[in-house]
Structures are given as structure tokens and as C-alpha cells.
Amino acid sequence: MASLKIKNIKKAFGSVEVLKGVSIDAQSGEFLVLVGPSGCGKSTLLNLIAGLESITEGDIYIGDRRVNTVSPKDRDIAMVFQSYALYPNMNVRQNISFGLEMRKVPTKEINDIVQKVAGILQIEDLLDRKPGQLSGGQRQRVAMGRALSRNPSVFLFDEPLSNLDAKLRVEMRTEIKLLHQRIATTIVYVTHDQIEAMTLADRIAIMKDGIVQQLDSPHGVYENPANLFVAGFIGSPSMNFIPCRLIRSNNTVGVQLEAADQTSAFLPIGHKSNGLETWVDRELILGLRPEHISTSFPQQDASDQIHPINCQVDVVEPTGPDTLVFVNINAKKVTCRVHPHEAKPPGELIGLLVDMSRAIFFDPETEKRIV
């Protein structure tokens, strides 16, 4: 086990700067997830940690050791690849023991380790098969077994679940989490799937265009996104972004929202308005998650921050436990999460409640969060 320090890392391929100064500290035993859309530099960063690419600028420390120029095999890391990268000509046993053999571990010890790892991952009966004879999930296990066998101080996962079908992906996700709880080794996990990031991570680094947009716990990035990008990227369905104007009425600061049929509502912001004074009479973006626009809230009687608005239903999407209702507010498509029994068919009016205590405001120019 070891901590991982990434200090102001930059990476350029020719004149293209892929990473523009990334700094991340992961504590020993932490599960760190790098998430972002494709091309954000997350896989490059992982390759830099692994030593498969050279660093243009900055430092990487594993434990107390600066590893910038240390070769991949000497960094005490193990990596699981998206395609699993199992050696096709070797059977499962040889795949798992290859790394140990390269490190000149005595044969007897290798056999013990292979047995132990196979036991942990329940692949004992697959040891003599070739990768071509395994299913996707089994290959995934072998790939993890290969990484486990070396007992490294840092595990690197490069989109390990994206080649699996949806059901298996959810199962393996849980298994990876269990595995981490069991071995408690530092893990850096790259994915483009925000649900994977949320479910697995101790902390999430959300990346875009080679910059870490926010580094926080899953709860933190969900509840307190630093900017529009993070707010839109985390959460499914995405947060609603409603452009609106901040106004003062009867000494209360609030936003004016217009629903489809010209009915408009004034929604006071309440105690959250501290820091918003300078924005009065200016345009900003109101961020509301779908679950904060609904027909009823459990705590609605006790709260003075839940305000009604009537909207016309455009589209209804039942998901099972909830139904998503799409309406139009301020000429913007807005998703609301309501109880299936309270959803109205398209064309009808629905009385919605907005929980303004959960509202977030963004600067439309800089896209940064205001409060």
C-alpha cells in the first residue's frame, strides 16, 4: 500500500497539450476514480502513472518515491486494461504467473500465489484454459487476478468494465468494490461512466480538456458541483439548467420562471440568497436536479422553501420507481422526477413543487458556480 501524489502534471503530444497541470493526492488505500468524457486526458494520466508514457512536466510520487523516470515494472503497480490484454497464447495460470516469473519469484511460491488469487476470484477451475475459451466476465476476473498476484502498492484500472454487458457490469462493479474493501490497496480507476464513478469511488476527479474540474467525494460532486460541466456530467438524468433573471420583489430575492402557457411563478430563494445580491437584475443559470422538481416532498410541510409552479406535460418516461416528466420552463426542456401515480399524461397541466433549498446558481459567462 502506498499513497499517490500527482503534482502539476503536464503532457503534450507534439503541440497538442493533453494534460494541462493536473494535481491529485490519493491517500494510501483510497479508491480514486478519474472520470470524464472521451478525450479529457484521463487515460493518458493513468498511462503516466503506470509509466507507459513519459511526463512532459511535473512529478509523480508513489509512496515517498518520485517515479518520473522509473520504468513501469519497477513502480510497484499493476494495471487492468479495458481489453483485459490477456496473453492469448498462455493459459490462465501462465497469464497470472507471468509477472511473478519475470520477477524471478521461486516456482513454489508462484504456485501458492496463483492458487490463492484464483481462490479469491473463484477461477480455480479455469486455470488451464486459454483466454479464448473464457467469457467476458471470466476474462475480466483473470485480468484482475493477474494484477492481484503481484500484490502491488497501487492498482490501475483502465475502463475495466466497458466491454461487459450491462448486467455483468453491475455485478463486476460490486465485486471490484468488495475486492477493494478486502485488500484495501490504493486504486486509481478510469471510467467514462459517472454511475461507476459514483458507486465505486472514495473520491472522484472529474476531468475535462486536460484539467481536473473538481476533486471530491461522490456526495460532494453530486451535491456541490463546482461548475456547470460537473453539475451536468454527474447525475442521471442530468441536472436541469434553467436560464433566468434574478429579481427583488417585496424585499425577497428570487427568480421568475415562466411555464409553457404563460403562467409564471416567482420563486424566492430564501437564505441561500447571501452572495447573490450583486446578481440582482442580471441573467444567471439556475441548476435544479430532477428530483428537486416533483409533485410532493416528504418534508414539504416543514419547509418554507418549496414553491409551486404549474406546467404543461410534454413527454412522460416511466422508469419504474419514478416517472420522468418533461416540461418547458423558460423555453428550456426540464426533467422532473415524480411518483408514478402522480404523473399526468402529455398535454395536461401538472402542479409541480420546486425545492429551492437545493437550487444551485451558475454564472452564464464563466460557467462557474455562484452559490
Return residues touching another protein (CB under 8 A). 47, 50, 52, 71-73, 77-79, 81-83, 85, 87-89, 98-99, 102-103, 146, 150
Decide whether 11 or 292 has the Cβ nearer to another protein: 11
Decide whether 65 or 73 has the Cβ nearer to another protein: 73
Decide whether 79 or 329 has the Cβ nearer to another protein: 79
Decide whether 12 or 102 has the Cβ nearer to another protein: 102
Decide whether 88 or 347 has the Cβ nearer to another protein: 88
What is the nearest approach in angstroms of another protein to the Cβ of residue 72? Answer: 5
Measured between alpha carbons, how far is 3 from 65 in angstroms, rounded to an integer?
A: 10
What is the nearest approach in angstroms of another protein to the Cβ of residue 26? Answer: 19
What is the nearest approach in angstroms of another protein to the Cβ of residue 103? Answer: 5
What is the nearest approach in angstroms of another protein to the Cβ of residue 56? Answer: 14
What is the nearest approach in angstroms of another protein to the Cβ of residue 161? Answer: 15
